Amino acid sequence: MLLSTVIDRAGGTGYNHRVIMNSERRPSILFTRQEIEAAVKRLAAEIRQDYLGKNPLLIGVLKGSFMFMADLVRLLDFPLEVEFIRLSSYGRGRESSGKVRVGQALRAQIRGRDVLVIEDIVDTGLTISFLLDYLRKKKPASLRLCTLTDKPSRRQVPVTIDYLGFTVPDRFIVGYGLDWDERFRYLLDICVLEDG
Ligand code: IMP
Ligand code: MG
């Protein structure tokens, strides 16, 4: 599906027209907003079943998970806490270097908590394994991972995913919080980026 379709579905707002004016890369839809909504509902039901009564601490990995986190939490109608963590990779462009540092320290106590990490995508797995190791050292009661998307074809280190939205092909995806160089986060559908 081409950009014109993306724009039609977005209601043809002037905001989206900036994509046409400025972009040399075209997003085309991989998962529609309806498919995303269904996936988020399914994940919320699974999480509710496992965490009801446990007052879990949900930690969203910035920035990509912000939209997913917001939609997910809206469907979780029981006591929980929300935190965000900012990670910076030393790598450039699309490739993950594996050298990660925590850019914004966590305020919440991790020790003894049931912690659920909320990610946008697990690609090589280097970023998330760093974060899971970092959190594990803080002795949570339990530590699990929920990711909206998984790109297993690019994995460099094994990662256990407890809650998964979509498996994606080896393509660069944008939209629904995911960016390419800070662009396209606002797209309501998950799109793949096409050249030219
Ligand atoms: P890693 O390779 O698993 O360490 O991925 C680290 C980060 O790279 C993810 O959290 C995303 O922010 C970003 N990333 C990897 N693949 C994609 C993609 O297809 N679209 C947008 N961001 C991506
Ligand atoms: Mg991320």
Instruction: Judge whether residue 12 has pLDDT over 70.
Output: no
Could you tell me the pLDDT band of residue 5, with boundaries at 50, 70 and 90? very low
Question: Average model confidence (pLDDT) for the chain?
Answer: 86
122 lines ligand 1 (CB under 6 A): yes
- What strand order describes the sheet that includes 173-174? 25-31, 190-195, 173-174
User: In sequence order, which residues have a C-beta less than 8 Å from that of residue 141 and are 6 or more positions away?
Assistant: 112, 113, 114, 115
Which one from 71, 120, 123, 150 is the annotated catalytic residue? 123
User: Measured between alpha carbons, how far is 44 from 38 in angstroms, rounded to an integer?
Assistant: 10
Instruction: Judge whether residue 85 has pLDDT over 90.
Output: yes
Mean pLDDT of 55-83: 97
The beta strands (E) that lie in the chain are given as: 25-31, 57-62, 81-89, 100-104, 114-122, 142-150, 163-167, 173-174, 190-195
Could you tell me the pLDDT band of residue 102, with boundaries at 50, 70 and 90? confident
165 lines ligand 1 (CB under 6 A): no
Give the pLDDT score at 1: 41
Give the pLDDT score at 129: 96
17-21, 56-60, 106-110, 175-179: which has the minimum mean pLDDT? 17-21
Is-catalytic flag, 123? Answer: yes
Could you tell me the pLDDT band of residue 160, with boundaries at 50, 70 and 90? very high
The atom number, within ligand 1, closest to the CA of 172 reads 19
Mutational test site, ligand 1, from 85, 96, 101, 186, max ligand atoms within 8 Å of CB: 96
Instruction: Judge whether residue 98 has pLDDT over 90.
Output: no
Mean pLDDT of 15-44: 79
DSSP letter at 154 equals G
pTM (predicted TM-score): 0.86
66 lines ligand 1 (CB under 6 A): no
The atom number, within ligand 1, closest to the CA of 96 reads 2
